[in-house]
Amino acid sequence: MEPSLEGWDIAHVDGDDTLPWIPWGTQGKARARIAARADGYHVAIVEAEPGYRTEPHVHRHAEFLYVIEGTCSNQGRTMTRGDVFAAAAGSAHTHFVAETPLRYVSIFKTEGDEDKS
């Protein structure tokens, strides 16, 4: 059987200037590249400046995050390179602050909402 790419979105992000950067959050302190999409889920590579913070929100869908580099404070816990979180649908996200220059992968679902962390 030949491999099929039907239903797949595969991308190379590092060094790829064809993926546009988009503003992330409301403060102008972060930007993201949407690297791949499937079934309403998005895989975003996010770069944030120190002091970037999210507005408190409730997750409509599960969300996942992996820290590539830097340090952030999330829900009162310090996260650094290699740390991950999984947030369940319905969970309140009340605290997320970049303590240093921060780069992370965020996987989230949208259906008209702008739930971004």
Q: Is the predicted pLDDT of residue 112 greater than 80, yes or no?
A: no
Distance CA 80, CA 84 (A): 9
46-102 pLDDT, tens digit each: 999 999 999 999 999 999 999 999 999 999 999 999 999 999 999 999 999 999 999
The C-alpha torsion from 28 through 22 and 19 to 36, rounded to 10°, is: 120
Instruction: Of 12-16, 39-43, 81-85, 90-94, give the lowest mean pLDDT range.
Output: 12-16
From the candidate CATH numbers 2.40.30.30, 3.40.50.2000, 2.60.120.10, 3.40.50.720, the one assigned to the domain spanning 40-109: 2.60.120.10
Give buried/exposed letters for 95-108 (b at 16+ CB in 10 A, else e). ebebeeebebbbbb
